[in-house]
Structure formats: C-alpha cells, structure tokens
Structure 1
Amino acid sequence: MRRLSKKNRQNLVLTAIALCAAIAIAVVSFVTFVTGEKLFLDEIRTRAQATLAVQAATLDRHLDKFRLLPPLLAQRPDVQAMIALRDPVGGERVAAIVAAMSGAREVVFLDALGRPLSSSAWAGRNLSPQPLPAFPAAFAEAMEGRLGRELLPGDAASTASYVFASAVRTNGIEVGVVAVRVDLASVEQAWALSKDPLVATNEAGEIIVTNRPEWRGRRLVDITARQPRGRVPPTPEISFQRSPRSGFSLIRLDDGRETLNALHLSQPLTVLGWSVGTFFDTTLAHSQAEKATIIALLACLLISGVGWVALERRRATLRRMRDDRAAALRLERRVRERTLDLSEANRQLAREVEEREAAEVELRRAQAELVQAAKLATLGRMSAALSHEFNQPLAAIRSNAENAQILLSRDMGAKAEGNLAKIIAMVERMAEISRTLKGFTRRAGTETKPVRLNSVIDEALMLLSPRIKRSEIEIVIERPAGDPVALAGHIRLEQVVLNLLSNALDAVGDRADGIVRLSLAETDEHAVIEVADNGPGVPQDAIANIFDPFFTTKEVGEGLGLGLSIAYKIVHDFDGTLTVSAAPEGGALFTVRLPRCDTASRAAAE
C-alpha cells in the first residue's frame, strides 16, 4: 500500500479538523437558535401574561361597577312610583342624573311589556322619544327575577355596549324594568395603549372589544385543521393557523390586510362567557434568536480562526509585535489628544456651571428684593390708615392719662384705675399692630414648615383693618370647624393673602353693597384659601396673562402689576397652585391650594 507523504498527511489532518469544526459549528448554531428562541419567547410570554391580566381586569372591573346599579335603582321608592304612575318627565330626570353620576351610556325605564317609559337619552329634548336598542334577553331575565345581561354588538364604526337589567316590583308584582347600558369604548381606549392586538370574544369567536377598530364585529376562525400548513386564504373573518412549539401557542394571524406571526394567550371571563386574548408579535424573538445564533457562529468562527492563527503564529509573531507597537504609539497619541480635549471641555463646563449658579443666586436675590419691595409698597399704601390707627390711641392715652392724673390728685383712685386700664388696653393694641408690622416687613426665609392658616388670616386682616373700617365693604370670613395647617412660610403666605384681599378691596371700590368673602377649607391633600368679591371680575381675555409680571387691569398709576405675579411665585415655591375664576357673587374668585400638613406635624405649626 502506498504511504501518504507528510504533506498529504498534514492536509488530511487539516481537512478532518476543518470538517469536525464545521459540524460542531452547525450543532452549536442550531442549539443556540432553539435555546435563544425559547428564552425570548419565555420573556414575551411573561410580558403577555402581565398585559393580559391587567387588561382583562380592566374589562371585568368596568362592567362589575355597573352590575349592582339596576337592582339598587329598582328598590328606590321614587323609581317604583315613577314606573307605576308612568311619569316620563320624572323618569327622564332620574335617568339623566343616574347616567351622569355613574358614567353609564344610558339608563332606561321600561314597563312590564318592555315598552320604554323614559330614558336618559331623551332628557332635555323637546322631541318625540328616540328609538332605543332592543335587549329582549336582558328584559326577559329581569322579569324572571334574575339580573338581566345582554351584549349589544358593535361594528367597525361603533363600539359594543352591555346591558344590565333588574325588575321593579310593587307589592310583589313586576311593574317594569330598570336597564343600564354600559359603553365599552372606555375599555377600548385603555387597551389602545398596547401596541399588540387585544380582543375580547364570545363563545362563537366574535370579537366584541378590541384595540383594533377594524376587527370589531368580525370572527376569529381557526383554519389549522382544514388548510395545508403555510396557506392562509383571504376570508371576511380573521383567520389563524396554530403552530405549537415547545409549549408555546404560536399562531399565524391574517386579517385580510396583514399577516402576523404571534404568541397567543387567552384568559376566560367565566361570568360573561367571554375570553380575553392577546397576540404578541414574535418577530422580535425570532430576530433576537437569529442574532444570538449569528453571535454564536461568529464566536465559533473566531475560535476556529484563533486555532488557525496559532498554527501561523510563529511566522507572524515578529510582524504582529511590530504592528502592535506602532498601533500602541498611535493609540497613546490619540489618548493624549482626547485627554486634552476632554480636560478643556471639563474646564469650559465648570465655567458654565459657575456662571449658571451665580445667575441663579442673583435671580433669587432679585426675586427676594422684589418680594420685599412689594411688601414695603403694600405698607406704604396702608401708611395713612396705620398712622390714624396709631394716632387715635395715642390721643386717647394722653386724655386718659391727664384724667387719671387729675383723679389721683383728688384721691379718686378707683376711677383713676379705670383710666389706667383703658391706657393698658390701648397700648397692647398698638403693640399687637407693631408686632404684626414688624413680622410682615421682616425678610422671609425660603424654607417651608407647618403654618396655621387662621393665624395668617387674622394678621392679614389686622393689617388691613384701618382700610376696612373706612370703607363700607362687608368682609365675610368663612372658617372650618378645625384649624387648617399647610406646608408654607408664615410671612410669605401672609403677603399672598394681603395681596389678594387688597386686590379684592380695590375691585369692589366704593360700592355700597360691596362684599369680600374669605374662605378656608381642607381636603384630603390640600389646604384651600379662597378670596372672592362682587366687583367687575377679570376679563376673559386677561385670565391667561393675569399672573404675568407688570400685567394689570387697573388704571395707569394705580398699580405696577406685580402683586399677583409675586403671589403666584410664592405659592408655586410652596408646591401649591393659585388660580382665578368667576366668583358666585359675580366678581373674581382667587383660589390658593397648598399641601396639607399631616397630623403628626400640626403641633409644631406656627
């Protein structure tokens, strides 16, 4: 037998190694694709299950909140009397109120023969009764003493609705039926947030609710058993073929316009006899599995290449080392250049940050100065009235002191004590006004803490009391039973209330019937202050700009247009809101909503 040469043996060994490597690469690629596809499909199934559970619960909750409404309405005496007396006007009013408050699409009252007596759809119309959709199944079940249920199917142009019905009994006799029609459009709107198809089908496979409007009213048809694999003929229905693989329900869906390879999951709604299903596109899973296979293939090729390179390494070592040194030098040079660029960019960024921080500090300082100037301007406008508020007690103090001196000289100590008591009371009044003025003019900090709104209102009213006394304006104060506490700043909030009250007094002017109403209230999350007047109000075209700096509706010279702007900024700093609307009295209503303080922090409130 002829022996192979050394070169031929080497070539044969290399050929065998190459063949084994090719087989190994093929096996690894196949295993990687199958495993990767299963992992990605598992991830898609997990997301699909979560989405399906949420959306099925959305549909179930939406219908369940209307389920008990017909039985409750049927037990109301006014509804029983309305049906017994066949009062369509009263029935329309009750139906309209119930529909508006519950969110139902329509509330209908029918007599014992199924003829509609009144409906929320007729309310407020001077027309003959409008035609109503028939729901004989729900009516018949209700007359049998059960809760009537019936689906009113939709189509591509209109959404489906669901009817609940309950019998109305008088003296144990069914005299009529209350039916509540629930619109399923809100469920479809919620489902529209999902990019993958969602459907609710009945036992016949008809699509009732879906986030694909063009599918509504069509049927899902499984053609797996009657068509060859891979062929999906166009039909009016939405056809699909099943392709089960490793425990996954994979289908090929065709709606006549497009074909979708999807993972199908469904969840039954037993009470309704429906099934909610979702179709998650598996294209991404296949794509990711292909990418993983390509990566594995490249890794195998890389390993094979490394083996080949190892055989050629001895010859190429010196050249590679030389090339590596050159590449290292180039890389080091590029790193130095990039380091210099990054250092310069960092320095420039640091300068910009310092400039922005300095600008922010200057802006805050300017805002604080503007707030302080507004407070001093407010005090300036009240100076004449405050001067009278101080001068009148001073004159009375002097008069009482002179009288006390005379009484003491005549040994009339008891009467002198009365004069001295009056002097002490007037001095305390002046001291209280002085303390309030001192606190108001002090520069306010920026922190927020619990503040008692009654205290803020009382101090603001004290500062405005001279002006209120001179005018004929009626001030109405509405306080809740408790003492509302909000997270704010005492002095800054007092300035907001003072600005709003001053604007309300300016709006009312010298009207003999002028009224300014100040109200306090609390909700679960907010403490609310409302200031309303019966002045001319805010023009509709000025509402959008009412809180802009230097915007004012007053005459020239009567204001700078900064009061509301400053108040808006202060309330915004408290994480609150300041809004304007029309007041019931006919003027303007300004509403301040502030974060409500929790119970644990109320004891530390100012």
Structure 2
Amino acid sequence: MTRSYMDEASLQAGSALRLAVAALGGHLSRYEPLPALIADHDDIEALLQNPGDPAFRRVANDYLREINGLLESSDIYVMTPDGNTIAASNYDQPATFVGQNFHYRPYFQDAIAGKQARFYALGTTSLKRGYYFSSPVEVAGKILGVIVFKVDIDSIETSWRGGEYKIFVADPEGIIFMTGSPEWLYTGILPLDADRLSRTQASRRYAEAHLRPLPVSETVYHGQHLMSIASDGASREYLRLSQYMSEADWTVNVLLDTASVRAQARTTLIAILLFICLAGLGGAVLWQRRARVVERLRLQEETQVELERRVEERTADLARVNEQIELEVAERRLTEQELRKTQADLIQAGKLAGLGQMSAALSHEFNQPLAAAKTYADSASLLIDRGRVPEAQDNVRRISGLIDRMASISRHLRNFARKPNEKLGPVLLSDVIADTLEIVTPRLKAADAQLVLLLEEQGLAVQAGPVRLQQVLVNIVSNAADAVEGLENRKILLSAGRTDGRIVISVRDHGPGVPAAIAERIFDPFFTTKGVGKGLGLGLSISYNIIKDFDGDLTVGNHLDGGAVFRIVLAPADNVQEAAE
C-alpha cells in the first residue's frame, strides 16, 4: 500500500524536478552566447590592446554598464592575462571589481586557455551568488584577455520557497549552492572531508562562507531514495529525486515530505480494515438475528429501560455541570472587572508618576513665561507713564500670548492626567502628535533632545482612543529622551505611514538600543532599567495593553544603525473626515 503511494508521489516529484531543471537550464542558456559576442566588440578589443589608456577604460566601463542594464545581468567585467580586472559594469560602485584579481577562478583559467567556460560560486568581492560565463578575447589569433558575464540566480531560488516541494542544487562535492530553504545553504549532504574542502577552497567557490555538514541519512525503499534530515532535535523523511546537469556541473534535487504519503497509506489501510470488520460484523448480526429474534426483542426492551435511566442520570449531571459553569463564568466576569479596574488604576499611577518626573521641567516651562509676563507688565507700566500707549498695548498682547501658552500646557496636562472614558473611533494622527508635543516638550528640553516628525501623507487616521493613544506616545517619546540624554546624537525620529493596509507609527532614538535579554521582558509589568524612584516599570506594559485594546500591536527592536525602534501598528480609520472633525 505504502509502495504504491510512494510510486505516485515519485511521479509527481519527477514532474516538479523536470520543471526545475528546465527553468534553470532555460535561465542560463539565454546568457551563454553573450560573453563571446561582447568579446568581439571593438571597445573591448581596443581596451585589451591598450590596457593602460584611461580613455579606453572609460569607454569600456560605460559600454559594460549599459549592456549589463539592458540584459538585466548581475555583472560584466574584463580581465587581462594575469587575472587583473581593468573594466567592469560596476566600476562606479563601492564594491567594484576593477583592480581585483581573479586568476584563481576556474572560469578564468579555462578562458585564458582559449575555451568557453562556466562556473558557479559566491563572489569574493560582492559576496553574492551567481553563475559565471567566460570567453577569451582573441585578436589576430592572440588571446589578449577574458570577458566574464555573471548571472544572478536569486530570482529562480525565490520561486522555490513556500511550495509543496523542497528544491536544492548541490555541487559535485555535495555542497548545497541554491535552495528554497535558507537554513540549508552552504551545507554538505556528503561528508566534508579534507579532500572535498581542499578542492572547494582552491577555487574559492564559496569565498569565506562557513561550510557545515547537513545531518542527513539515506535509505532505499522499494527503489525509491529516501532522505532523513535532522533539525531542531527532530528528523523529517523526504522522498528524493535528483538530476545531474552536465553543462552546469551540478545536481538538482527535489524533496517531498513522506509524512503525507505515509498518512494516506495508513488511512487507506485503516479504511480497508474497517470495511472488512463492518462486513464481518454485518454478517454476524444477520446470522444472530435469524436465530435469536425473540431474545433480541427482550434485550431491546431492557436496553431501552437502561438507556432511559442513563439519560435521566446524564441529564441530572449536565444540569449540575451547567450550574457550576454559570458560577465560574460569573466569577471570571467579576475577576475581569477587577483586573480592568486594577489596570486603569495602574495606568493612572503610571501617568501621575510620569507627571511627577516632569515636574521640574514643567516648573521651568511655567516660570519662564511668568518671568517674561512680569517683565512685560513692568515695562508696560513705565511706557504708560511716559505716554507710549501703543508700545504698552503691544506688551499687553505679549502677556496675553504667554498666558494662552500656559493655559494650553495646563489643558494638555489635565487631559493626560485624567482617567480616560472614551470609545474607539477615528483619530487624526496629526492632532494626537500635536497634543503629545505639548506634554513632552519640557522633557525634550531637559534632555536637550530634538524630535523630528516624518508623516508620509496628510490626513492619516487610525481607529483608537485619542487620550490613550496620546498617553502611549508620551510614554515612548519620554523613554526615547531618557535613552539619548547625555549622548552626542540626541535626535529622535517620529514617523508614520501605511504598510500592508495598516498604519505604522515608529519612534526611533539614537541611544544604546535594547539588549536581547531586556527585549523579552520590556513589556512585563514592573520591569524597569531605571534607578529607584525614577519609574514604576508600568509605562511600557500599560502602553502595550492599550495598543492591544485598539486591536493593534506594539513591538520593540534595534535599528541597523544603532538605537531602539518602537513600532505601533494600528488599523486605519474608515471615516477620515470624522477624525478630522
């Protein structure tokens, strides 16, 4: 039974193997004649006849870059007989091949000997995999150099990912060079003994890539090759089909997980056994029915009485269970209400703790306009005494503006401190960010930090509560100010835009970042890296729960260039106009 399913699966995998081989062969064959054609170009021949002439190099570089763009290849470059690269399509790139020596590559050695050559390898300069075609540049019967054409193979490899079959390409040493499973790349399905490693390192086929064995074992089941691969303490069995491509000197392999095949075989076998059992049971029932009709009628009556008794018992049991479940549901609802109340109290405690931490900065924020207002008032009094009424009126208007600013700061602080009782609805991000700035500006000034805003489009709106969303942003921006305080780069970037149908708000600082051990616990309640008295350790935990209440997500990570990045992902609002109002 299993053998027939294996044979059927082998036919299907064979079709996938033929398609993979055809795709690879077709992708490579379209580029094979191109190096010889480029080698005959006048600019290439002129360069190799005058390798030291800057004008010829410039013309050849421009020509190679133009051809590379038209053919959508990876790189094209020209080498002299000693292996030095004197022109390349990437001559103006940081990782240019110009000046590099590739005499150790087999494709150069074969081409300088007068042969067309192929080679696949990991680039030692670009560290990108590719397939190389090379051709000698011959002028008047003399080989003046080599033209090399590199083809990118990532597009084919990408098409192998996520399918029913696992496809990989191995070189003659058994090292996997292409695969739809990135974790298998540069692993060996054959033992990596000294001879294999020596041959591989001689050509530097894989540059400095770390080669490691793939834990595999192979068996044969009725003519089918099975391969078991160990990973994460478990082993998976695959049906393996292979085909050698002589022109490329590699082997294409297709793996099909045998778990589904064996499951189908077991299911079919169980179905057959069940059918046989049911057929035998049916025959026995018919035979007994003819012999014991009267006895069965009596047994049916007794069975009916027993069934009714059991139904009554089960009904009573179910009634008791339902009553117990209702009590548990009531207890859980009460517990949930208590948890929500506790969470709200913790949110309020965190906000009040944050307000306490900002008190010194807020005192400066209020004292400054108060001192200015007193100065303007004294000045206005003197101006009035001297009859300079217009100038005194201007001072009064300035005093009014300072009072409006202090009122604005006070209003935002009251909104921040109060317990929110709001429903979710459309919220305009620009308004929330403006309110956030009113609150965090003193903290930013205290840390001497600069907040840079970057909104990809105007009118971005999310489904949230404005006060609670403002509280989350205040907490994250304040943490960013703490992270950059005292550093050379104190810039904080707050950006927002659309990604995959969601609104993403990012806050990035240039601080020391978030260590991996802390990142796993940073959203836990009462976890804090600040000193005693500088925080309750509730801010990020509360912020995380607030965003979850909005059906969103809050994550933290480290930027590639340094610093921490907090990402808030929320659903976009359906009614933007309502949010704007």
What's the TM-score bracket when you normalise by the shorter of the two chains? Answer: 0.5 to 0.7
Q: Distance in 1 between matches of 2:153 and 2:489?
A: 49
Is the counterpart of residue 165 in structure 1 residue 136 in structure 2? no
8 Å CA contact retained: 2:168, 2:253: yes
Q: Distance in 1 between matches of 2:425 and 2:136?
A: 57
- For 2:452, the aligned partner's letter is I
Correspondent of 1:570 among 531, 546, 553: 546
Correspondent of 2:567 among 593, 597, 605: 593
- For 1:178, the aligned partner's letter is F
Greater C-alpha Rg: 1
Correspondent of 1:519 among 478, 494, 519: 494
Compute the displacement of 1:341 (Å).
Answer: 2.7
Q: Distance in 2 between matches of 1:285 and 1:113?
A: 61
Compute the displacement of 1:323 (Å).
Answer: 2.0
Compute the displacement of 1:567 (Å).
Answer: 3.1
Is the counterpart of residue 327 in structure 1 residue 295 in structure 2? no
Q: Distance in 2 between matches of 1:418 and 1:257?
A: 88
SS at match of 1:560: coil
Q: Distance in 1 between matches of 2:340 and 2:224?
A: 63
Residues 301-337 of structure 1, C-alpha deviations (whole Å, 9 max, x = no match): 556556545643xxx4433222222222222222322
8 Å CA contact retained: 1:451, 1:489: yes
Residues 330-373 of structure 1, C-alpha deviations (whole Å, 9 max, x = no match): 22222322333333233323333332332222222211211122
Residues 396-455 of structure 1, C-alpha deviations (whole Å, 9 max, x = no match): 667767987998899976556434533442343233223322322233357655544443
Q: Distance in 2 between matches of 1:380 and 1:479?
A: 30
- For 1:380, the aligned partner's letter is G
Compute the displacement of 1:591 (Å).
Answer: 1.9
- For 2:133, the aligned partner's letter is A
8 Å CA contact retained: 2:547, 2:554: yes
1:502 is matched with which residue?
478
1:557 is matched with which residue?
533
2:321 is matched with which residue?
345
Correspondent of 1:364 among 333, 337, 340: 340
Residues 151-202 of structure 1, C-alpha deviations (whole Å, 9 max, x = no match): 89xxxxxxxx98452669899x9841134586999799969976xx98999x
Question: Any unmatched runs of 5+ in structure 1?
Answer: 1-36, 87-105, 153-160, 202-206, 217-236, 241-251
Q: Distance in 2 between matches of 1:305 and 1:397?
A: 106
- For 1:363, the aligned partner's letter is L
2:432 is matched with which residue?
456
8 Å CA contact retained: 1:521, 1:528: yes
Taking structure 1 as the reference length, the TM-score comes to 0.57
Greater Cα shift, 174-183 or 50-59: 50-59
Q: Distance in 1 between matches of 2:101 and 2:557?
A: 42
Greater Cα shift, 517-526 or 594-603: 594-603
Q: Distance in 2 between matches of 1:449 and 1:283?
A: 52
Greater Cα shift, 594-603 or 278-287: 278-287
SS at match of 2:499: coil
8 Å CA contact retained: 2:555, 2:567: yes
8 Å CA contact retained: 2:426, 2:576: yes
1:178 is matched with which residue?
149
Q: Distance in 2 between matches of 1:324 and 1:572?
A: 58
Q: Distance in 2 between matches of 1:512 and 1:286?
A: 66
Is the counterpart of residue 253 in structure 1 residue 223 in structure 2? yes
SS at match of 1:374: helix
Correspondent of 2:507 among 523, 530, 538: 530
2:207 is matched with which residue?
none
SS at match of 1:479: strand
Q: Distance in 1 between matches of 2:157 and 2:23?
A: 12
SS at match of 1:461: helix
8 Å CA contact retained: 2:480, 2:509: yes
Compute the displacement of 1:579 (Å).
Answer: 1.4
SS at match of 1:497: helix
Q: Distance in 2 between matches of 1:65 and 1:494?
A: 54
8 Å CA contact retained: 1:41, 1:282: no
1:477 is matched with which residue?
452
1:27 is matched with which residue?
none
Identity of aligned residues (%): 29
1:581 is matched with which residue?
558
Compute the displacement of 1:475 (Å).
Answer: 1.8
8 Å CA contact retained: 2:6, 2:261: no
Taking structure 2 as the reference length, the TM-score comes to 0.59
SS at match of 1:591: strand
Q: Distance in 1 between matches of 2:25 and 2:553?
A: 37
Shift in CA distance, 308/449, structure 1 to aligned 2, threshold 3 Å: same
What are the within-5 Å matches in structure 2 for residues 242-281 of structure 1?
A: 252-253=222-223
1:376 is matched with which residue?
352
SS at match of 2:530: coil
Q: Distance in 1 between matches of 2:158 and 2:487?
A: 56
Shift in CA distance, 419/524, structure 1 to aligned 2, threshold 3 Å: same
Shift in CA distance, 131/192, structure 1 to aligned 2, threshold 3 Å: farther
Q: Distance in 1 between matches of 2:10 and 2:149?
A: 39
8 Å CA contact retained: 1:486, 1:596: no
8 Å CA contact retained: 2:425, 2:465: yes
Is the counterpart of residue 441 in structure 1 residue 411 in structure 2? no
Residues 106-143 of structure 1, C-alpha deviations (whole Å, 9 max, x = no match): 99967487969699xx999xx99795566999x69x98
8 Å CA contact retained: 2:169, 2:253: yes
- For 1:375, the aligned partner's letter is K
1:336 is matched with which residue?
312
8 Å CA contact retained: 2:226, 2:240: no
Q: Distance in 1 between matches of 2:145 and 2:376?
A: 86
Shift in CA distance, 363/373, structure 1 to aligned 2, threshold 3 Å: same
Shift in CA distance, 50/350, structure 1 to aligned 2, threshold 3 Å: farther
- For 1:165, the aligned partner's letter is F
SS at match of 1:327: helix
Shift in CA distance, 291/516, structure 1 to aligned 2, threshold 3 Å: closer
Shift in CA distance, 530/60, structure 1 to aligned 2, threshold 3 Å: farther
Shift in CA distance, 432/277, structure 1 to aligned 2, threshold 3 Å: closer
8 Å CA contact retained: 2:107, 2:133: no
Compute the displacement of 1:277 (Å).
Answer: 7.1
What are the within-5 Å matches in structure 2 for residues 211-290 of structure 1?
A: 252-253=222-223
Q: Distance in 2 between matches of 1:446 and 1:65?
A: 59
Shift in CA distance, 591/571, structure 1 to aligned 2, threshold 3 Å: farther
Q: Distance in 1 between matches of 2:137 and 2:435?
A: 61
Compute the RMSD of aligned alpha carbons.
6.3
Q: Distance in 2 between matches of 1:257 and 1:404?
A: 92
Residues 72-104 of structure 1, C-alpha deviations (whole Å, 9 max, x = no match): 9x99xxxx89x9669xxxxxxxxxxxxxxxxxx
Q: Distance in 1 between matches of 2:13 and 2:337?
A: 48
Is the counterpart of residue 491 in structure 1 residue 461 in structure 2? no
